[in-house]
Structure 1
Amino acid sequence: MEKYEELFVSIRKIIRAIDIRSRKLGKEAGITGPQLIIMQEIGRVKGLSSKEVSNNVNLSQATVTNILDRLEAKDLIKRIRSQSDRRKVALFLTDQGKETLLNAPQAIEENFIEKFSALKEWEQYQLISSVERIADMMGARELDAAPVLNLGELSASEQEK
């Protein structure tokens, strides 16, 4: 097997592991990985705007707005318009959203976080740099990416193009 083929096999294994984790999250919590990340951000900093959420989770404004619409439809978040400036809308978790967040499984495997955190700092940077280079080589520099990936959403957005 060629070296590039070995690399692609490893990448496919990573994608498969993410897919399995994403399906577990959907089954147990009824939300996707990106929805969880956005809910965690709203729970962490109350009253954020959608633009602030977008900046904080590294997703485009359009993607975040779409996810927020879905979360609001599920009654997991609420948008509250400012009384003093009607242009401003703050985001908050509903009681159901707080409960969902509390009961949701971890978005990223604890095992991964523990192992990665146990690496020396230079090893962490080396891994980050290597994976970023792979992403660049695959032409993925400009793609939206949250810390958690839901393959179903990626497939749907890629088909729209």
Structure 2
Amino acid sequence: MIEVGQKIPEVTLSQLTADGMLTHDVTTLFAGKKVVLFAVPGAFTPTCSEAHLPGYVVLADKLKEKDVDLIACVAVNDAFVMKAWGEVHNASELLMLGDGDASFTQALGLDKDTAGFGGVRSQRYAMIIEDGVVTTLNVEEAGEFEASKAETILAAL
């Protein structure tokens, strides 16, 4: 598993915009920026939709007041699903990134196999990244939702 002090791996993530599909090399995307990145097991799932994503939507301005340049949400879903999920939750201040093949999640070592529920998914986590280096990493224990909440990350900034 990635650790504090390590660089984000060179992997791509997808984003669907009004102008079409974008492929982001995360090392380039996060270079020179303070980034809050949080991951959910799946878009449109209960805790993710009822609490995790909405928390970051509500606190986006307060996070940016702490010199955060970019707030990004990632899930092992395609960019089409991530865009639709972001629209449903008015997440216009967040970058909704798809990790359709789980390559980013696996490169971080933060994948889990949910078997019949959805196969390979991401663990629930949040991290602060400064110029491509992880400075804070909060990974949730199974069934928990505290360490990766927007309020927890805001307090860590």
Q: TM-score w.r.t. structure 2 length?
A: 0.30
Q: Which has the higher strand share?
A: 2
Larger radius of gyration: 1
Greater fraction of residues in helix: 1
